[in-house]
Structure 1
Amino acid sequence: MTRKITAAIGFATILVVTSAGGVESALAQANVETAPQEMSLQIANDAPGEQCRRLDQLDPTSLIRVTLHRTFHDDFDAHPLSSGLWVPHYAGGAAWPEAQYWGGNGSDAKRKDAWNGEQQIYVDPKYQGRGTVALGLDPFKVRNGVLSIMASRIPVSLKDVLFNNEYVSGILTTQGSFAQKYGYFEIRSKLPVGTGVWPAFWMLADNGGWPPEIDILEGRGKQRGDLVMTTHWRIPSGVVQHCGFDFLLPDAATAFHDYGALWLRDRLVYFIDRRPVADIKVPDDFSDPMYMIVNLAMGAKYFGGVGFVDGESPDVVEFEIDRISAYQIDSY
C-alpha cells in the first residue's frame, strides 16, 4: 500500500506471484472479541523459499508453535486520536515544519499520495486544508467498541479548500509512538466494497525508508471478498520486488475476521483468522523496526480491482475495525 510502490512498478522488473484462491469458510471467526495478552500461532517447520508460497495444504504434523506476548493494543473503546497511539497523517522528516501537517499549501503532501491516483484527502478535526481555520472534519467514528474510518464525498463548497479532491477519509499511523522489529501484527475488521474503495492495513520501516513494506491486508473494492497480502523488498542491485497472493473470503464485507502477519528472523507468515495462508523468506533489507498504518483510500491508478471513483461509487464508505494489536515472540 505504500505510496511509493508505483514508482518502482514503472521501471523495475518485479517478481510477482499472485494467484486468486479461496479461503475456506472453515476459517471461522474467533469467538472472542478481545485480543489475548498471550497467544500462540502455528507455522510450517521447514525452510521458507525466496518466493512466497501459499499454504493451502499444510500437513498438521509438520507445524510448530510460536508463542507470543502482547506489546500493543487498541480495541477502540474511545476516539483513536485521544490515546496518543496514532497520528492522522503520513509522517515527515525532521525538517518538515510541524505546522504544515495541519494546513496551508503543501499540507496535502502528507495527507494523500497523488502518484497512486488516490482521490481522497486524509483529514482530522484539526485539519485546515488550504485555509487557516480548522474545518472540524472527523473521519473517525467509534460505536460500541468498533472504529469506523469513514470516506465521504466532498461537497462543492469545500472542494477548493480541500485541494479539489473527491473524498475526505482517514489514516492512522503509529510512527513516533510504536514500532517493533519481529513479532505478530493483527487487525480485526470488515472490508468495505465499491468502485474506488481501497482499505488497507500495512507496515513500513520506522527509519522512513522504503521498501521494506508488509501489506497485511488490502481490499480490492470492486471485487467483493478479494483481499491481498504482499511483501515488498529491494535487492542489492536496487530493483524493488514484491510477492503476494489474493485470497477470497466471501463474507469479508459483512463479518469481522482477523488478518495478521508474523515476522520471524527467517520468514514472514501471513494469517487469516490465525491460520497460516502464505509465507516467504525474510528479505535482507528487513532490518529496522516497523510501524503500523491503517487507512481507507479512494481511487487507485495501479492497484487492480479498485479503479477510480465514479458516479456509481458510494457517497459514504465505512471501514470497520474492531481492534489492532501487536505481539512479540517470547523467545526474542
Structure 2
Amino acid sequence: MNDLPSFRSEPGTERLTLCALISIGCLLFAAVPALAQADLAGATTKLTLQVATAMLGERCRRVEAPDRASFASVSLHRTFHDDFDAHPLLNARWVSHYAGGAAWPEARYWGGDGSDFRRKTSYNGEQQIYVDPHYGGRETTPLGLDPFKVSDGILSIVASRTPPALKAVLFNNEYVSGILTTQSRFSQKYGYFEIRAKIPVGIGVWPAFWMLADDGGWPPEVDIMEGRGQRPGDIVMTTHWRIPDTQRVERCGFDFQVPDASGVFHDYGVLWQPDRITYFIDRQPVSEIKVPVGFNDPMYMIVNLAMGSKTFEGVGFVDGESPATVAFEIDRISAYQIDER
C-alpha cells in the first residue's frame, strides 16, 4: 500500500516493481472456523495469546488444527488504543497522509503539501486520493473533504467518487478516500498489533491494515489484513523483506476465508516476536513465519481504503459497477507490548 515497488500476495502473480524484482509466493487458501465473538468485543489492557513453539523453516506456514500441548502463552500489556469515540484527527494519534522518510528512494514522493505524492500509491495503480478536511489539492484553500465518519464508536473510512467539479483540483483521481498512519506518532518493536473491522467489498475496493519501518525504509512490510474487493470473505496476510546480498524483495503469505467478514466485525492481528511473526484471526493463530532479515527497527501502523489496483489480484480497476460510496468500518485499533519475564 505504499508508493514504492511493493509486493502483494496474489496467487501465482508477480508484482510489477520499479526494478522488476522477483518475489516468492507461498500463497494458499485456508478456511477459518467460525469463532465466538463475545470475548473479542473489547481490547483489555492485558492480553494473552497462544503461539507455536516448534522450530520454523525459512518459509511461512499455516497453523492448522494446533496441538495445544505444543503451544506457549505470551502475555502482553496494551501500549496503544483507539476505540474511535471521537474523530481520529482530534487527537495526536494519527496522521492523515504518508509522512515519508529519508530512506525512501522516491524523494519526490514527499512533495509539497499540495501534491498528491503523499496521498496515493501510484505504483499500485490506485485510483483514489487520500484527503482530509485541511487538504486543498492543487488549491491553497482547504476543500473540507472528510472521509472519516464516527458514529456509536465506529470509525468509517469512506471512499466516494470524486465530485466532477473537484476532479481537476484533485489530480483527476476517480475517488476520494482516507488513510491514517501512526508514523511519527507511535511505533513499536515487537508486540501485537490488531484491528477489529468489517471488510468492505466491491469492484476496485482494497482495504488494508499494515505496518512499515519507522525509519522510512521499505521493506520490511507486514500486511496484517488486506481485502480483495471482488472476492468477499478473502483475507490476505503477508510478510515482505529484502535479501541484503541480492537486494531482491521476497514475500510469503496466505489467503484465508472469513465468509462473513463484510458484515461482521472480526479481529485481525499480528504478533511480532524476536524469532517469529504470527498472524491471528479472532485471536486464533492462522499462520507464522521465521522473522526475516531486516526487521530491526520499530514499525508504525497504517489503515486505509484504496480504490483500484493493477497489482493486487481480486481488486481490479474501478468501473461503472464499482460502488459510488463504500465504507471501511473499524471498531478499534490496538497495540500491545510483550511482558518482560
- The amino acid across from 2:219 in the alignment is P
**Aligned residue for 1:188?**
196
**Aligned residue for 2:272?**
263
Give the superposition deviation at 1:284.
1.5
**Aligned residue for 1:92?**
100
**Aligned residue for 1:41?**
49
Is residue 326 from structure 1 mapped to residue 335 from structure 2 by the alignment? yes
Give the superposition deviation at 1:11.
1.8
Query: In the alignment, is the contact (CA less than 8 A) between 2:97 and 2:119 conserved in 1?
Result: yes
TM-score (norm 2): 0.93
C-alpha distance in 1 between matches for 2:148 and 2:276: 34
C-alpha distance in 2 between matches for 1:265 and 1:98: 32
Query: In the alignment, is the contact (CA less than 8 A) between 2:101 and 2:217 conserved in 1?
Result: no
Alpha-carbon deviations, 1:262-300, whole Å to 9, x = none?
Answer: 000000000000000000000120000000000000000
Give the superposition deviation at 1:98.
9.3
**Aligned residue for 1:54?**
62
Give the superposition deviation at 1:250.
0.4
- The amino acid across from 1:211 in the alignment is P
- The amino acid across from 2:293 in the alignment is D
Query: In the alignment, is the contact (CA less than 8 A) between 1:34 and 1:75 conserved in 2?
Result: no
Give the superposition deviation at 1:9.
8.0
Give the superposition deviation at 1:3.
3.2
List aligned pairs for 1:69-80, cutoff 5 A. Answer: 69-80=77-88
Alpha-carbon deviations, 1:298-319, whole Å to 9, x = none?
Answer: 0000000000000000000100
Paired residue total? 327
Give the superposition deviation at 1:97.
11
Shift in alpha-carbon separation, 1:52–1:195, aligned structure 2, 3 A = same
SS at match of 1:157: helix
Query: In the alignment, is the contact (CA less than 8 A) between 1:153 and 1:166 conserved in 2?
Result: yes
SS at match of 1:215: strand
Is residue 221 from structure 1 mapped to residue 229 from structure 2 by the alignment? yes
- One of 101, 104, 128 as aligned partner of 1:120: 128
C-alpha distance in 2 between matches for 1:208 and 1:59: 39
List aligned pairs for 1:188-207, cutoff 5 A. Answer: 188-207=196-215
Give the gaps of 5 or more residues in structure 1: none
**Aligned residue for 2:172?**
164
C-alpha distance in 1 between matches for 2:54 and 2:308: 40
**Aligned residue for 1:2?**
2
**Aligned residue for 2:10?**
none
Query: In the alignment, is the contact (CA less than 8 A) between 2:132 and 2:178 conserved in 1?
Result: yes
C-alpha distance in 2 between matches for 1:99 and 1:10: 22
Alpha-carbon deviations, 1:47-103, whole Å to 9, x = none?
Answer: 1221000001211111110000000000000000001100000113379899923x2
Query: In the alignment, is the contact (CA less than 8 A) between 2:16 and 2:311 conserved in 1?
Result: no
List aligned pairs for 1:306-321, cutoff 5 A. Answer: 306-321=315-330
Give the gaps of 5 or more residues in structure 2: 7-14
Is residue 238 from structure 1 mapped to residue 247 from structure 2 by the alignment? yes
Query: In the alignment, is the contact (CA less than 8 A) between 1:29 and 1:258 conserved in 2?
Result: no
List aligned pairs for 1:273-292, cutoff 5 A. Answer: 273-292=282-301
Over the matched positions of the two proteins, sequence identity in percent amounts to 64
Give the superposition deviation at 1:7.
5.1
**Aligned residue for 1:19?**
28
C-alpha distance in 1 between matches for 2:122 and 2:150: 29
C-alpha distance in 2 between matches for 1:33 and 1:146: 12
Is residue 131 from structure 1 mapped to residue 139 from structure 2 by the alignment? yes
- One of 219, 230, 235 as aligned partner of 1:211: 219
- The amino acid across from 1:137 in the alignment is L
C-alpha distance in 2 between matches for 1:307 and 1:31: 36
**Aligned residue for 1:153?**
161
Shift in alpha-carbon separation, 1:97–1:258, aligned structure 2, 3 A = closer
Query: In the alignment, is the contact (CA less than 8 A) between 1:37 and 1:70 conserved in 2?
Result: yes
**Aligned residue for 1:63?**
71
- Consecutive aligned runs of 4 or more in structure 1 exceeding 6 Å deviation: 94-99
Question: For the aligned residues, what is the CA RMSD?
Answer: 1.7
Shift in alpha-carbon separation, 1:20–1:166, aligned structure 2, 3 A = same
Query: In the alignment, is the contact (CA less than 8 A) between 2:75 and 2:339 conserved in 1?
Result: yes
Shift in alpha-carbon separation, 1:175–1:169, aligned structure 2, 3 A = same
Give the superposition deviation at 1:331.
2.0
